[in-house]
């Protein structure tokens, strides 16, 4: 069980033992970057709880002492940690993390939407840049531009609602941000069946009837002319509500071979897809394309 989102286990959000009180404000993004001539995986985890908020930067799921952890007091307006620089070592490389969150704006959740930057640098080479304050970031490291080769591989997010669960995300390489709405009716009148629908930009692209029989499944939809494989598992909502959440996955490049996924009907626990994809994708050849969006949907009363 997580005691705080800044603990050494904070990024293990797929654990079914984690309660909604500790996971509700976690967003985890995995990027593929180049460190020297070798491809690596860099993870950014945004965290927020009742007292603190901040982020964690780690390389290749390294040990906590080889990561950058920034925790700021939510109620202290002039917390010095809102701007700064930290460094950590990873396999002989000195990784520097610069950030400025002094004017950051948050719409909802722990991840800022504008007026901020996070810059990850190694030997004057930019590994990752996040935010919209490009000029300020360049001045911080005395660079003319911020060239990088980072690619977003996966994103894990927790969303909340009673029947409707909404978020926004980029689902293809076009850079377009789409509105995603998941609507699920599990409590229905006698003689009716639970049903599920998924809308992208207000257009219904997937509908599942008789959800009590089809509580796990997958279907291909098309967004921006790109095929996306959508997987859903709402078993807990129907048969094990004490666990609290269902899981949805949007996977680009659905036609590539996925021996690790197998048949969704063989999944025995709700976190199996997230566990497999998070680790297996990193073991596959780096030439493998695709992006995975994991949504943990919590029913709030």
**Stretch 115-129: mean pLDDT:** 94
- Positive/negative CA dihedral, 43, 275, 216, 108: negative
Q: Do 259 and 220 share a structural domain?
A: yes
Residue where a domain stops, chosen among 81, 114, 149: 149
Residue 6 lies in a domain: no
**Between 67 and 21, whose confidence is greater?**
67
**Stretch 151-155: mean pLDDT:** 89
The rounded mean pLDDT for the chain is 79
> By C-alpha distance, which of 255, 247, 258 is closest to 280?
258
Beta strands 52-59 and 216-223: pairing type? unpaired
- What is the predicted pLDDT for the residue at 28? 92
Residue whose pair of structure tokens reads 């995995």 in the numeric block? 30
Is pLDDT above 70 for 69? yes
**Stretch 87-94: mean pLDDT:** 90
C-alpha span between 298 and 247 (Å, rounded)? 9
Is pLDDT above 70 for 177? yes
**Between 254 and 13, whose confidence is greater?**
254
- What is the predicted pLDDT for the residue at 1? 27
Contacts of 287 (CB under 8 A, 6+ apart): none
Q: How confident is the model at residue 191 (pLDDT cuts 50, 70, 90)?
A: confident
Q: Do 176 and 136 share a structural domain?
A: no
Q: Do 234 and 137 share a structural domain?
A: no
Number of domains in the chain: 2
- What is the predicted pLDDT for the residue at 109? 81
Q: Give the pTM.
A: 0.81
- φ/ψ of 237, rounded to 5, equals -60, -35
Residue where a domain stops, chosen among 149, 167, 190: 149
Q: How confident is the model at residue 180 (pLDDT cuts 50, 70, 90)?
A: very high
CB 162 within 8 A of CB 299: yes
C-alpha span between 78 and 103 (Å, rounded)? 11
Q: Do 201 and 244 share a structural domain?
A: yes
- What 3-state DSSP class applies to 135? helix
Which helix (H) or strand (E) segment holds residue 71: the answer is: strand 67-73
Residue 13 lies in a domain: no
Is pLDDT above 80 for 34? yes
Residue 289 lies in a domain: yes
Residue 118 lies in a domain: yes
Interval 209-252: pLDDT, tens: 998 899 999 999 999 888 899 999 999 888 887 777 899 999 88
- What is the predicted pLDDT for the residue at 3? 39
- What is the predicted pLDDT for the residue at 192? 83
Residue where a domain stops, chosen among 116, 131, 149: 149
Which residue range is the domain that position 27 belongs to? 20-149
The torsion of the CA quartet 102, 105, 108, 109, rounded to 10 degrees, works out to -30
- What is the predicted pLDDT for the residue at 268? 45
Q: How confident is the model at residue 12 (pLDDT cuts 50, 70, 90)?
A: very low
- What is the predicted pLDDT for the residue at 203? 95
**Stretch 114-142: mean pLDDT:** 94
Q: How confident is the model at residue 174 (pLDDT cuts 50, 70, 90)?
A: low
Is pLDDT above 70 for 173? no
Contacts of 44 (CB under 8 A, 6+ apart): 28, 29, 31, 55, 56, 57, 118, 128, 130
Interval 275-289: pLDDT, tens: 544 444 444 434 455
**Stretch 255-267: mean pLDDT:** 47
């Amino acid at each position: 069980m997580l005691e705080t989102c800044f603990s050494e286990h904070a990024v293990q959000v797929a654990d079914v033992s984690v309660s909604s009180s500790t996971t509700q404000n976690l967003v985890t993004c995995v990027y593929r970057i180049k460190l020297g001539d070798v491809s690596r995986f860099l993870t950014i985890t945004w965290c927020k709880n009742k007292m603190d908020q901040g982020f964690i930067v780690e390389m290749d799921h390294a040990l906590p002492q080889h990561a950058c952890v920034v925790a700021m007091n939510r109620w202290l307006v002039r917390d010095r940690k809102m701007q700064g620089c930290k460094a950590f070592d990873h396999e002989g490389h000195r990784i520097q993390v610069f950030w400025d969150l002094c004017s950051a704006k948050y719409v909802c959740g722990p991840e800022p939407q504008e007026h901020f930057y996070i810059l990850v640098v190694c030997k004057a080479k930019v590994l990752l840049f996040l935010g919209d304050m490009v000029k300020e970031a360049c001045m911080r490291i005395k660079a003319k531009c911020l060239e990088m080769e980072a690619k977003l591989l996966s994103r894990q997010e927790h969303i909340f609602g009673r029947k409707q669960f909404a978020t926004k995300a980029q689902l293809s390489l076009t850079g377009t941000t789409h509105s995603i709405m998941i609507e699920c009716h599990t409590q229905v009148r006698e003689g009716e069946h639970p049903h599920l629908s998924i809308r992208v930009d207000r257009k219904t692209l997937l509908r599942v009837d008789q959800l009590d029989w089809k509580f796990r499944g997958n279907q291909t939809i098309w967004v921006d002319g790109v095929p996306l494989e959508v997987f859903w598992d709402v078993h807990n909502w129907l048969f094990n509500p004490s666990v609290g959440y269902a899981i949805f996955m949007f996977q680009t490049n659905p036609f590539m071979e996925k021996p690790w996924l197998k048949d969704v009907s063989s999944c025995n626990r709700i976190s199996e897809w997230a566990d497999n994809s998070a680790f297996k994708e990193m073991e596959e050849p780096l030439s493998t394309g695709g992006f995975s969006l994991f949504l943990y949907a919590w029913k709030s009363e």
